Amino acid sequence: MALRPTNESGALLELPPSKVGALSIKAHPVLGLYAISGPEGLEIRELQNHRTLHIDLGAWTTTSQWYKSSSKLAATFGRKVIARDCLSDKRWESPEFEATLQDLCWLPQNGMIASTGYGGVNLTAPFRSTAAETLEFKGSLLRIAISPNSRWIVTGSQDSTLQVFSPKEDIRLEMRGYLRKVNELAFNTTGSRLANNGSPEVTVWDFSGAGPKGRKPLQLGQHRPTAIRIKWHPKNELVFATSDARGVVRVFDLNQRQEPNVESWASETNAKICVLEWMPDGSLFCADTSGRCATVSVDTSK
């Protein structure tokens, strides 16, 4: 495996400023729309001309997520979740939860939304019901990932732990021992592995079969102080990439029979790489907080 920059001198294009500010931006894979989440709310725009399609003002909006390739978008909105169907103009709102929400995720199998914050994981059914079920936790849950079969709901906590829920099987697990809060985690495409930050090493848990209970995780690589982004390869379930606050990108290949293969690349700016995405051609797109971007080719054949 080898990492080679193909373009490391690019500058990011500036989008027209938004009234909502900008904490995260999510582009739709097909519809030519993008959603901006910010301290002041949520804005949905057309990609071609940046025209505003919908805007919801008045609440801290940490993130949004499109439901697969449909026209439905969900976003945290202060202490509520809001969902919009961008084609039919339908808007849905959850009840108000205990504190400002930190993250959310659609359950892939049934179109429900799991949102996290202080107090646990809230499960809601947008456009169908305003009722909510809460998987309780006394603490603040920062980030959520759901396995593709919706069996596992895994959250990273302010208390430097992973909190695992499997509501159907009534399973609750807690993974401790992290040095920092866990605010980045991701399942691979099959749901067999979950990788998360929280320590200089990235931890990889085996969620195949009966799940991670009793299994020792892999602890890989060294990021200082910890990985910022973790992205699994969209086609190879045992390859993932990470980035950190010092401009370092690493790609881990767990296909090796003995030690996993790790390759690194460091950006020119050494700035925090806050955007890391696999491109359709298998390369990695990286953007850092200094406004620079780079594309890095990843050759997994070597």
Amino acid at 139: G
Which pair of structure tokens corresponds to residue 207? 């969620």
Residue 148: cis peptide before it, omega within 30 degrees of 0? no
Whole-angstrom Cα distance, residue 199 to residue 179?
A: 5
Residue 240 C-beta-side C-alpha neighbours within 13 Å = 27
Options 28-36, 66-74, 88-96, 152-160: segment touching another protein (CB under 8 A): 152-160
158 contacts another protein (rule: CB under 8 A): yes
66 contacts another protein (rule: CB under 8 A): no
Question: For residues 70 and 289, which CB has a smaller minimum distance to another protein in the complex?
Answer: 289
| Cβ–Cβ under 8 Å, residues 92 and 126 | yes
Question: For residues 97 and 252, which CB has a smaller minimum distance to another protein in the complex?
Answer: 97
The phi, psi pair for 25, rounded to 5°, reads -130, 130
Whole-angstrom Cα distance, residue 132 to residue 137?
A: 15
Q: Which of 123, 117, 74 is nearest to 98 (CA)?
A: 117
Question: For residues 124 and 161, which CB has a smaller minimum distance to another protein in the complex?
Answer: 161
| Cβ–Cβ under 8 Å, residues 80 and 94 | yes
Options 81-89, 154-162, 207-215, 276-284: segment touching another protein (CB under 8 A): 154-162
Question: For residues 102 and 188, which CB has a smaller minimum distance to another protein in the complex?
Answer: 102
Quote the least distance from Cβ 270 to another protein, whole Å. 15
97 contacts another protein (rule: CB under 8 A): no
288 contacts another protein (rule: CB under 8 A): no
Other C-beta atoms closer than 10 Å to the C-beta of 16 total: 9
18 contacts another protein (rule: CB under 8 A): no
Options 132-140, 204-212, 246-254, 256-264: segment touching another protein (CB under 8 A): 132-140
Other C-beta atoms closer than 10 Å to the C-beta of 188 total: 22
161 contacts another protein (rule: CB under 8 A): yes
In the region spanning residues 29 to 48, those forming contacts with another protein, defined by CB under 8 A, are 39-40
Whole-angstrom Cα distance, residue 98 to residue 204?
A: 31
Quote the least distance from Cβ 137 to another protein, whole Å. 7
Member of 122, 140, 150, 203 binding another protein (CB under 8 A): 140
Question: For residues 45 and 79, which CB has a smaller minimum distance to another protein in the complex?
Answer: 79
Question: For residues 157 and 166, which CB has a smaller minimum distance to another protein in the complex?
Answer: 157
Q: Which of 61, 63, 64, 129 is nearest to 95 (CA)?
A: 129
How many residues are listed for the chain in this entry? 302
77 contacts another protein (rule: CB under 8 A): no
> What are the residue ranges of helices labelled H in 95-246?
none
Number of shown-chain residues binding another protein (CB under 8 A): 20
In the region spanning residues 186 to 245, those forming contacts with another protein, defined by CB under 8 A, are 225
Other C-beta atoms closer than 10 Å to the C-beta of 274 total: 14
The residues binding another protein (CB under 8 A) are 23, 39-40, 60, 62, 99-100, 118, 137-140, 157-159, 161, 180-181, 225, 289
